Amino acid sequence: MAKKKDILKRQFKKHKKVGKAPGTITYMGHREATETKVTIIEYTEDLHKIHYPGEIEQIVAHKDTPTTSWVNIVGLSDESFIEKVGKHFGLNALILEDIVNTQQRPKIDEYEDYIFGTFRMLYINDDNELIGEHVALVVMQNCVLVFQELDYDVFNGVRDRINAKSGRIRTKNSDYLFFALLDSIIDNYFIVLENVGHKIESLEEELYENPTPEVAKQIQQLKKEVLKIRQWIYPVKELVNRLIDSESPLMSKDTKFFLRDALDHSYEINESLQIYREMAMSLMEMYMSNMSNRMNEVMKVLTIMSSIFIPLTFIAGIYGMNFVHMPELQWENGYFMVWGLMVVIFIGLLIFFKKKDWI
Amino acid sequence: MAKKKDILKRQFKKHKKVGKAPGTITYMGHREATETKVTIIEYTEDLHKIHYPGEIEQIVAHKDTPTTSWVNIVGLSDESFIEKVGKHFGLNALILEDIVNTQQRPKIDEYEDYIFGTFRMLYINDDNELIGEHVALVVMQNCVLVFQELDYDVFNGVRDRINAKSGRIRTKNSDYLFFALLDSIIDNYFIVLENVGHKIESLEEELYENPTPEVAKQIQQLKKEVLKIRQWIYPVKELVNRLIDSESPLMSKDTKFFLRDALDHSYEINESLQIYREMAMSLMEMYMSNMSNRMNEVMKVLTIMSSIFIPLTFIAGIYGMNFVHMPELQWENGYFMVWGLMVVIFIGLLIFFKKKDWI
Amino acid sequence: MAKKKDILKRQFKKHKKVGKAPGTITYMGHREATETKVTIIEYTEDLHKIHYPGEIEQIVAHKDTPTTSWVNIVGLSDESFIEKVGKHFGLNALILEDIVNTQQRPKIDEYEDYIFGTFRMLYINDDNELIGEHVALVVMQNCVLVFQELDYDVFNGVRDRINAKSGRIRTKNSDYLFFALLDSIIDNYFIVLENVGHKIESLEEELYENPTPEVAKQIQQLKKEVLKIRQWIYPVKELVNRLIDSESPLMSKDTKFFLRDALDHSYEINESLQIYREMAMSLMEMYMSNMSNRMNEVMKVLTIMSSIFIPLTFIAGIYGMNFVHMPELQWENGYFMVWGLMVVIFIGLLIFFKKKDWI
Amino acid sequence: MAKKKDILKRQFKKHKKVGKAPGTITYMGHREATETKVTIIEYTEDLHKIHYPGEIEQIVAHKDTPTTSWVNIVGLSDESFIEKVGKHFGLNALILEDIVNTQQRPKIDEYEDYIFGTFRMLYINDDNELIGEHVALVVMQNCVLVFQELDYDVFNGVRDRINAKSGRIRTKNSDYLFFALLDSIIDNYFIVLENVGHKIESLEEELYENPTPEVAKQIQQLKKEVLKIRQWIYPVKELVNRLIDSESPLMSKDTKFFLRDALDHSYEINESLQIYREMAMSLMEMYMSNMSNRMNEVMKVLTIMSSIFIPLTFIAGIYGMNFVHMPELQWENGYFMVWGLMVVIFIGLLIFFKKKDWI
Amino acid sequence: MAKKKDILKRQFKKHKKVGKAPGTITYMGHREATETKVTIIEYTEDLHKIHYPGEIEQIVAHKDTPTTSWVNIVGLSDESFIEKVGKHFGLNALILEDIVNTQQRPKIDEYEDYIFGTFRMLYINDDNELIGEHVALVVMQNCVLVFQELDYDVFNGVRDRINAKSGRIRTKNSDYLFFALLDSIIDNYFIVLENVGHKIESLEEELYENPTPEVAKQIQQLKKEVLKIRQWIYPVKELVNRLIDSESPLMSKDTKFFLRDALDHSYEINESLQIYREMAMSLMEMYMSNMSNRMNEVMKVLTIMSSIFIPLTFIAGIYGMNFVHMPELQWENGYFMVWGLMVVIFIGLLIFFKKKDWI
């Protein structure tokens, strides 16, 4: 629970920067400072090398090689390093600001020499928690820069395909690599949605079996999670669409063809999210109807018990009175006649409640 | 019930494919592997033949004949067969992926030589369950390829018309055949909507007669079903509209004229679905109001019984006290006077409740 | 009530036609087959004749006369007759299908020689029920064909004006006649809306006076009726707008001027309908709040009666105990002191409840 | 209250006209016939005269003078007089129909020689009721015709400014006069909104202090009022926008500049109205939550009283039994020990309820 | 609380002006008249001076200097002073009206020589209250006029950057200064949103721990606050967008680049606000569900206590009757057998309630 609250809070840490000049590179993450790790995957159809460069110059060297390079930079807390990378690759200061701003909403900006995009990688971690990690991509003529905060990402499938030379990726250029990474991000949205679907289903079951206030809390938690996911996922379809319409020479007609497929998936995700949203909203309604049912049941028990025994107790009370002149008390069978009366009333009331379908 | 959940879950099986390269042909269905069955209906105005080809070459032969051929392919689990068909007919890899992706949302893609479309065939099966089957259509110059998962489909009316030479179909080309198939799919949406309408009506009746929690569950189930149907049906009107605006030479002006009629039906279906959606949402509201009514009734019984007998019991209690000096106890008619008092109170309270309209 | 359900069901009878070829003329109404009655009103500024033609040729003769003719055809179940009319007047098969499809949603189609439109005539019949009758209009150079199911329509005002030569109608052409008929249909929408308004008001009153579950049912019924009316009325404003923008030579600039007035009314009707919709939705909310009020009142009575008499009964119970050593029982005034105590408690509780504003 | 219902009903009196030819001048108001009063304010920068013309010719004389004239016509029930005015000023018949149609929704129509507009003057009368009066304006080259039903209007500020020569009005032409009148109408919308705001606040207070069903009724009344105001105010911003975009030579560039200011106010009013709408909708929610609170409180009292005294009464009942062999009854201190037990139970239950925070 | 109501009321004080000519400069604030204080910050890359001019001529002198000047005017109640400033700087009368209209909604107007904008500075004051202060900006070739009501503003970060020569601001022109001020305003919106987020979280916690009616009140208060914030913040993104599309020579291409960053933030703020809005709406739902839970708990206690002790009391009542012939009373162990029976019933009912999961 505590962690989820963190996720929700992260978004508004922005005020750390309030008052600073725009374009100031300020790490907005909530992680402790970690060393920045750089990995470069360099490939052509026939070549596949992995570099672990130590110096900035070793990284920049990949900018203008004819091979395709995937420069993967993990750890965003070292602002001066990011600045150096930016300077050597010729990136705009505002973009550097967005790279280290881990609360940046998804966006795509086109520049003359490169296209910049940030997205949210969503995945379910080992504790079954939803994690939303900031990732920034810069696609250039011959390389793609990937900036991320943690060592964990959703790109292993792409790495495997490059390694195994499966699919088209080794025969294609940096724009296809960019597409492949984006496609991985979007594919993971399906898993996250599926997880939401499972949560809805299990909440629904618990709702009928054991509708404690805890369930209501969890429903609210789920609704917040769906709101959050929507905020992260919603802009993507528009961004992909803009890429398809882009006139940048960096995006080849061929890659745009694949992007159209990704666009399709984005629409599908948004539709499913919309359905889950409505389902999540129904859950509370069901919870309330269930509460109402339970209340009804409680009230019926109370009403039946009271309505039966209060009148009977009254009769017993009558013959507990101490009047000197109470003829019935002297009757030989008075006691048994009263019992008879009571049984008649008892059965009569049972029939009455049966007719009302209360028992 | 179990089956319905399956329908809802099916949509998110996509992650089977997560990490695979786009354009990979992966069967996404949930059926056991079955043999692929191919049937070809070949016709012109004067000719009508049905073929059951065994070899891929026999199928492809129909691509360039002057006759119109409906190539019907049942069973999508044999990925290599689908790939072969795709190769021989010159279909794009991404399209093959969509053909075997049984969770694909409805879409239409135009290519130079063919138009590709996937839709959802909705029908009510013999167990009165809603079934949503994936169907993919490829219309070419002289033939229409139809890919479906099961042997059951909604196209028998079209088969009969071709067979009986009724209507225009035998005089028209492959684009009209495509329209006729699409029209059949859309016509079946009306039946599905009608079924939803019946369910709403019967739930409404049960709501008043026997509002158990089970009814609330069924209302929620219905709301999910309507959400699902909307997801399947909603995109259709836009797709048909796009076909009408298409400049592809495959769609003749004449067929577009008929498509306009189909568009009309799509609008009508969407409007009706919207109405059913609002009705379904009202159902829960009615359920709650009914719960509230029942609670009111229960409380009235409790209140009337308690309010009448508790005071009377109190009076009986008074004269059950054992004080040595209680003058009333000695009175000759004390007992009967107390009875009188009780009857007066009883009648007084009855009048009070009658005035409040509680009895 | 039964009849209203029929109205709602009618819409989905379409599946009678499922499987048939598009353009098949199939009567979709729910009336018994009746003879088709044709009346022709022929007029110019100086002429006014009413014909009751027996033969199709007598009808078609009016197509090319310089006079304006209103060909009124009542009864749509004789499909072959409609087909003959269509053939002689040169109407498209799809239009004939729409003419006999009494569930057709409002639409306007422009052709070279004629404009086709179908609408819903709404009126309140003598049993105060809402009736929605299908009407189809075809406007040609010199005549307007009107197809309707029943002998009753909303066009008597137009007939009177033609007869009495009042207004402009006799000096104008067939397009103005078309406008006059459409205007009559729209004017009747105001009456139907007024009727909805009255129902809302009377339900509101009943809600406060006598909030039985029956009232909740009627509120739901009203909400459905409003949904239905909206479905019938909503498309009209767009259709009129399209007519105004039409470039068909059949619509004169002068008539478009009047259509703009009709458009204005359509907007007004839609706004009012929207308001009624929101009012109808509020009704249920008021019903629930009223239920809640009543429950509160019931609970107060129960609580007051129980809270007063249960403690008093307890005191009486104390002195009904049979302990050998109970000093109070021997006191001379014990009995009266207990009475005193009870009165004090009684008054104290009354004051308590008075302070809580419960009595 | 009665009057408010009238306001809501007025809108649907239109059917008085159903069946009449369009362009028929029919007074739609609900006032008794009154004499029509005409006042003309004629001014230039140096001139200021008020006329009370008796003859139609005296009115028409102002059409073509070089001075600016404000022709104010009060009382719309004399249809023939309005018709005469229309004829002399060259107004279209449909416009005359709109002038006397007191239910006309706000609209602006541009003609070659004049611009016609109708609006709703909203104000709070002396009984603190919302009044919505129909007003029609016709702006011509040198004069503005103002048609209204009652002698009361919201234009006194404009009259004062003309009289006192304050602001620009005396130096400007008829289009500025039109703007000034429209601006007055819009300014009064602010007062009406403020009144709505006050009502919401006082309902909110009453909700907490004294949530009777009467309050619920008033909330519903308020919601209807807001719906009504929205219907009257909402179209204005679009109309003003259209005037600004108009190419009519009657609207000078200078006046359009001021209209932009009026447009700004229209937007502000619409936003505020939207906020009030949501607040009004919240009121019912608060009412329900308050009801629920009160119910809770009632139930707590009942539960505490019953849970404490029912067990105690049971104990008393035990020792009221008449068994021959009941050892406790013989004990010297039995009675006091029972009292002790009862006090222990009493205190125990009090602690229990205290812990539950119920007391 | 009182202050917040003031905030909500402020908006509708406009009617002070009703009837006045448009363009009349009328202070609309609610502050007492205060002296107007003017501060001028003059800077170039190498220069930085702060002036406190006493005469209007000293202020106007800065209009045409080559340096960039920030003319900060605090206090809007001296209408004649504002008018003088406006006259010397050549500002339009309508703009002056907007400057002193402290209820003006956010807007941007472009003129030939200057661009005018008003916004709302939002901040949380020391009493943790939300304050929304009106601020008006006029950007000219070489200076920016800032009009505000109070000495407190959100621009200290900008002042510091000018002073410390940090960032780009000293090297840039007046349009960048304008951007920097706008950016400060927008940055503060994040803080305000964060504050809303904290309030939602603490209300949520209190909802579960201590759901008093006071909490419901605070939820409503929060919802109003969110509505208010939305009204102030919502138009900003459109205004910034308009500035970016502006063709005014005052906005350099370079500054537009930064404005795009501000636009991004505006979108982010609007999305977050939307999320908070939905969360705030959920709060009431949770409150109601919690109320319902508590009611359920209360009812369970009542039902258990009553259902157990009412039957037992009945049994005791039976043997408290005074019939002469009651065989059980004579039994040696009658009393103990009754106790046994009671214990059996007691345990039986406990098991029954346990099974129902009520205890």
Among all chains, which residue has been given the structure tokens 């008054």? C347
Measured CA to CA in angstroms, residue B142 lies from B43, B172, E278 at distances of 10, 11, 54
Question: Mean pLDDT for chain D?
Answer: 88
The band of B332, judged by pLDDT with boundaries at 50, 70 and 90, is confident
Q: Determine the Cα–Cα distance for residues D304 and A229; give it in Å rounded to an integer.
A: 46
The band of C276, judged by pLDDT with boundaries at 50, 70 and 90, is very high
Residue C284, phi then psi, degrees to nearest 5? -60, -40
Q: Determine whether the interchain pair E18/D191 forms a contact, defined as Cβ–Cβ distance below 8 Å.
A: yes
pLDDT in tens, C277-332: 999 989 999 999 999 999 999 999 999 999 999 999 999 999 999 998 888 898 98
Question: Mean pLDDT for chain B?
Answer: 88
Rounded to a whole number of angstroms, the CA Rg of chain E reads 34
Residue of chain B nearest C19, judged by CA positions: B157
What is the model's pLDDT at position B306?
94
Same domain, C138 and C61: yes
Q: Indicate left, alpha or beta for E167 from its phi (over 0: left) and psi (-120 to 50: alpha).
A: left
pLDDT more than 90, % of chain A = 55
Q: Is the pLDDT of residue D13 over 60?
A: no
Q: Determine whether the interchain pair C271/D231 forms a contact, defined as Cβ–Cβ distance below 8 Å.
A: yes
Distance between start and end Cα atoms, chain E? 42
Quick count: other Cβ atoms within 10 Å of Cβ C210? 10
User: Is position B4 within any domain?
Assistant: no
Q: Are E334 and D325 in contact (CB under 8 A)?
A: yes
Complex ipTM tops 0.90: no
Q: Determine whether the interchain pair E298/D293 forms a contact, defined as Cβ–Cβ distance below 8 Å.
A: no
- Pick the residue of E302, E306, E359 with the most D CBs within 10 A to test the interface with D by mutation: E302
State the alpha helices, DSSP H only, in B319-332.
Answer: 327-330
The CATH number linked to A176 is 3.30.460.20
The band of E325, judged by pLDDT with boundaries at 50, 70 and 90, is confident
E324 reaches D (C-beta below 8 A): no
User: Is position A9 within any domain?
Assistant: no
Among all chains, which residue has been given the structure tokens 């049941």? A297
User: What is the SS3 assignment for A335?
Assistant: helix
What is the model's pLDDT at position D31?
65
What is the model's pLDDT at position B6?
41
- Pick the residue of B92, B94, B298 with the most A CBs within 10 A to test the interface with A by mutation: B298
Q: Are B144 and B177 in contact (CB under 8 A)?
A: yes
DSSP B358: -
Q: Are C231 and C103 in contact (CB under 8 A)?
A: no
Q: Which two tokens stand for residue E33?
A: 């008249």
Same domain, E179 and E241: yes
Residue A166 has its nearest CB partner, among B9, B21, B333, at: B21
Q: Determine whether the interchain pair C290/D216 forms a contact, defined as Cβ–Cβ distance below 8 Å.
A: yes
Question: Mean pLDDT for chain C?
Answer: 88
Q: Are strands C143-148 and C68-74 parallel, antiparallel or unpaired?
A: parallel
Question: Mean pLDDT for chain A?
Answer: 88
The last residue of a domain, from among C244, C275, C290: C290
Helix and strand totals (H; E) in chain B = 10, 7
Quick count: other Cβ atoms within 10 Å of Cβ B125? 10
Q: Determine the Cα–Cα distance for residues B165 and B159; give it in Å rounded to an integer.
A: 10
Same domain, C180 and C259: yes
Q: Determine the Cα–Cα distance for residues A348 and A352; give it in Å rounded to an integer.
A: 6
Q: Which subunits have 3 or more CB–CB pairs within 8 Å of chain C?
A: B, D
State the alpha helices, DSSP H only, in B23-155.
Answer: 56-60, 79-89, 93-100
Q: Determine the Cα–Cα distance for residues D276 and E235; give it in Å rounded to an integer.
A: 18
Provide the Cα torsion E308, E314, E315, E317; round to 10°.
140
Same domain, C346 and C300: yes
Q: B188: which chain C residues are within 8 Å (Cβ-Cβ)?
A: 18
Q: How many domains does chain E have?
A: 2
Query: How many residues would you count in chain C?
Result: 359
pLDDT in tens, A182-217: 999 999 999 999 999 999 999 999 988 888 888 999
Distance between start and end Cα atoms, chain B? 42
The band of B54, judged by pLDDT with boundaries at 50, 70 and 90, is confident
pLDDT more than 90, % of chain B = 55
Q: Which helix (H) or strand (E) holds C254?
A: helix C253-318
D341 reaches C (C-beta below 8 A): no
| Cα-Cα-Cα-Cα dihedral sign, residues D43, D44, D45, D48 | negative
Give D270→chain C minimum CA distance, Å.
16
Residue D287 has its nearest CB partner, among C193, C279, C289, at: C289
Q: Which two tokens stand for residue A356?
A: 């009302």
A202 reaches B (C-beta below 8 A): no
Q: What is the pTM of this model?
A: 0.85
Q: Which two tokens stand for residue E101?
A: 């209209």
Q: Determine whether the interchain pair B338/A324 forms a contact, defined as Cβ–Cβ distance below 8 Å.
A: no
Mean per-residue pLDDT, D302-331: 92
Q: Which two tokens stand for residue B253?
A: 């002006």
Q: Determine whether the interchain pair A289/B292 forms a contact, defined as Cβ–Cβ distance below 8 Å.
A: no
Q: Is the pLDDT of residue E7 over 60?
A: no
Q: Determine the Cα–Cα distance for residues B270 and B281; give it in Å rounded to an integer.
A: 16
What is the model's pLDDT at position A32?
67
Q: Determine the Cα–Cα distance for residues D125 and B231; give it in Å rounded to an integer.
A: 52
Q: Are E97 and E23 in contact (CB under 8 A)?
A: yes
Q: E161: which chain A residues are within 8 Å (Cβ-Cβ)?
A: 21
Q: Determine the Cα–Cα distance for residues A140 and A70; give it in Å rounded to an integer.
A: 10
The band of C105, judged by pLDDT with boundaries at 50, 70 and 90, is confident
Contacts 24+ apart (CB under 8 A), E323-326: E323/A319, E323/A328, E323/A329, E323/A331, E323/A334, E323/A335, E323/A338, E324/A329, E324/A330, E324/A334, E325/A331, E325/A332, E325/A333, E325/A334, E325/A335, E326/A335, E326/D322
What is the model's pLDDT at position C79?
85
Residue C299 has its nearest CB partner, among D17, D94, D295, at: D295
Measured CA to CA in angstroms, residue C25 lies from B213, C84, C98 at distances of 47, 11, 8
- Residue segments in chain A with a per-residue pLDDT below the cut of 70: 1-19, 30-33
The band of E26, judged by pLDDT with boundaries at 50, 70 and 90, is confident
What is the model's pLDDT at position B19?
64
Q: Determine the Cα–Cα distance for residues D243 and C260; give it in Å rounded to an integer.
A: 18
D310 reaches C (C-beta below 8 A): yes
Q: Determine the Cα–Cα distance for residues D249 and D255; give it in Å rounded to an integer.
A: 11
Among all chains, which residue has been given the structure tokens 């196209």? B155
Q: Are A246 and A259 in contact (CB under 8 A)?
A: no
Q: Which subunits have 3 or more CB–CB pairs within 8 Å of chain D?
A: C, E
Mean per-residue pLDDT, C10-38: 67
Same domain, E25 and E128: yes
User: Is position C282 within any domain?
Assistant: yes
Q: Are B314 and C342 in contact (CB under 8 A)?
A: no
User: Is position A150 within any domain?
Assistant: yes
- Pick the residue of B201, B310, B346 with the most C CBs within 10 A to test the interface with C by mutation: B310
What is the model's pLDDT at position C355?
92
Q: Is the pLDDT of residue E128 over 90?
A: no
Q: Is the pLDDT of residue E171 over 70?
A: yes
Q: Determine the Cα–Cα distance for residues A347 and A343; give it in Å rounded to an integer.
A: 6
What is the model's pLDDT at position A342?
95
Q: C8: which chain B residues are within 8 Å (Cβ-Cβ)?
A: 197
E271 reaches A (C-beta below 8 A): yes
D232 reaches C (C-beta below 8 A): no
The CATH number linked to D335 is 1.20.58.340
Residue E160, phi then psi, degrees to nearest 5? -60, -45
| Cα-Cα-Cα-Cα dihedral sign, residues A342, A343, A346, A352 | negative
User: Is position D4 within any domain?
Assistant: no
Same domain, A89 and A223: yes
Q: Determine whether the interchain pair E307/A312 forms a contact, defined as Cβ–Cβ distance below 8 Å.
A: no
DSSP C20: S
User: Is position C182 within any domain?
Assistant: yes
Q: Are C32 and C11 in contact (CB under 8 A)?
A: no
B102 reaches C (C-beta below 8 A): no
Q: Which two tokens stand for residue D66?
A: 């070089």
| Cα-Cα-Cα-Cα dihedral sign, residues E214, E215, E220, E225 | positive
What is the model's pLDDT at position E77?
85
Give B265→chain C minimum CA distance, Å.
9
Rounded to a whole number of angstroms, the CA Rg of chain A reads 34
In the chain, the amino acid numbered D359 is I
Q: Are E177 and E167 in contact (CB under 8 A)?
A: no
Q: Is the pLDDT of residue D1 over 70?
A: no
Q: Which subunits have 3 or more CB–CB pairs within 8 Å of chain B?
A: A, C
Helix and strand totals (H; E) in chain A = 10, 7
- Residue D219 has, within 13 A of its CA and on its CB side, a CA count of 29
Give B194→chain A minimum CA distance, Å.
22
Q: Is the pLDDT of residue E12 over 60?
A: no
Q: Determine the Cα–Cα distance for residues D220 and D227; give it in Å rounded to an integer.
A: 11
Q: E194: which chain A residues are within 8 Å (Cβ-Cβ)?
A: 12, 15
pLDDT in tens, C187-203: 999 999 999 999 999 99
What is the model's pLDDT at position D143?
93
The last residue of a domain, from among A266, A290, A314: A290
Mean per-residue pLDDT, B90-107: 88
What is the model's pLDDT at position B5?
40
Same domain, A117 and A215: yes
Give D141→chain E minimum CA distance, Å.
22
Which residues form the domain of B310?
A: 295-355
What is the model's pLDDT at position C32?
67
Same domain, C24 and C168: yes
Same domain, D334 and D253: no
What is the model's pLDDT at position A8?
39
pLDDT in tens, B278-323: 999 899 999 999 999 999 999 999 999 999 999 999 999 999 999 9
Q: Which two tokens stand for residue D235?
A: 């179209």
pLDDT in tens, E240-272: 999 999 889 999 998 998 999 899 899 999 999
Q: Is the pLDDT of residue E34 over 90?
A: no
Q: Are C142 and C66 in contact (CB under 8 A)?
A: yes
Residue A320 has its nearest CB partner, among E285, E293, E320, at: E320
Same domain, B71 and B178: yes
Same domain, C101 and C247: yes
State the alpha helices, DSSP H only, in E66-133.
Answer: 79-89, 93-100
Mean per-residue pLDDT, D124-139: 90
Q: Is the pLDDT of residue C13 over 50?
A: no
Starting from the edge strand earliest in sequence, which strands make up the sheet with C48-51, in order?
A: C48-51, C37-43, C68-74, C143-148, C130-139, C115-124, C107-110
Residue E278 has its nearest CB partner, among A22, A227, A305, at: A227
Q: Which two tokens stand for residue B242?
A: 């796009």
Write out the DSSP string of E274-334.
HHHHHHHHHHHHHHHHHHHHHHHHHHHHHHHHHHHHHHHHHHHHHTT---S--HHHHSTTH
Give B337→chain C minimum CA distance, Å.
18
| Exposure string over E209-235, b if 16+ CB within 10 A, otherwise e | eebebebbbbbbbbbbbbbbbbbbbbb
Q: Is A77 buried (19+), middle (13-18) or exposed (0-12) by CB count in 10 A? A: middle
A171 reaches B (C-beta below 8 A): no
Q: Determine whether the interchain pair A201/B287 forms a contact, defined as Cβ–Cβ distance below 8 Å.
A: no
Q: Which of D80, D60, D76, D84 is nearest to D140 (CA)?
A: D60
D65 reaches E (C-beta below 8 A): no
The band of E120, judged by pLDDT with boundaries at 50, 70 and 90, is very high
Same domain, B220 and B328: no
The last residue of a domain, from among E270, E290, E310: E290
Residue of chain B nearest C308, judged by CA positions: B311
Q: Determine the Cα–Cα distance for residues C269 and D11; give it in Å rounded to an integer.
A: 10
Question: Mean pLDDT for chain E?
Answer: 88
Q: Are strands A68-74 and A143-148 parallel, antiparallel or unpaired?
A: parallel
Q: Determine whether the interchain pair A310/E311 forms a contact, defined as Cβ–Cβ distance below 8 Å.
A: no
Q: Which two tokens stand for residue E170?
A: 């000293």
Q: Are C117 and C108 in contact (CB under 8 A)?
A: yes
Write out the DSSP string of E179-224.
HHHHHHHHHHHHHHHHHHHHHHHHHHHHHHH---HHHHHHHHHHHH
Residue A19 has its nearest CB partner, among E157, E264, E275, at: E157
Give E160→chain D minimum CA distance, Å.
36
